[in-house]
Amino acid sequence: MTLIPGLEIEEIGIDRLVVLSIVGRIPLDRLSDLNQLAFELITAGRRGFVADMSRTEEVSSNALATLAYYSRHLREKGGALALVRPPDHVARILRLTCLEDMLQVFDTRDEALAWVRRELSAAPRPHRQAANESAPN
């Protein structure tokens, strides 16, 4: 299912982990849609996410900042987010900006899914998000 150009979304397994595959690039003018989608999925109770970047050509710094925000937010709520094979230029940006310390990066989708499942099983179950909490701007 694709709701945003350049983004394919699928739920994996009985634990309903969310895999967001970034194909090509996400237009900068659709970044707010990505942000809203992530917020809705988290509000609906999804806590495990994998951002598959193996087919990504270009990622804006704003998109990387959004991923870092949700990685931290999910961790605080007992969730997890992992990246799969970002392109070399993106991996270099992650290193230079120290975002690689916030984002777990894996070579394969299976490795990322296994890590997210381990993180979820080790984390306490959080309470549901309050209705008055909102997505970041």
CATH 3.40.50.300 fits 7-122, yes or no: no
CA dihedral 88, 94, 100, 105 (to 10 degrees): -30
Partners of 56 in beta bridges? 24
Give the predicted TM-score (pTM) of the model: 0.83
Q: Which residues of the chain have pLDDT under 70?
A: 1-3, 125-137
* CA distance linking residue 27 with residue 108, whole number of Å: 25
Please tell me the predicted confidence (pLDDT) of residue 28.
Answer: 79
List the Cα angle 90/101/42 in 5-degree steps. 85
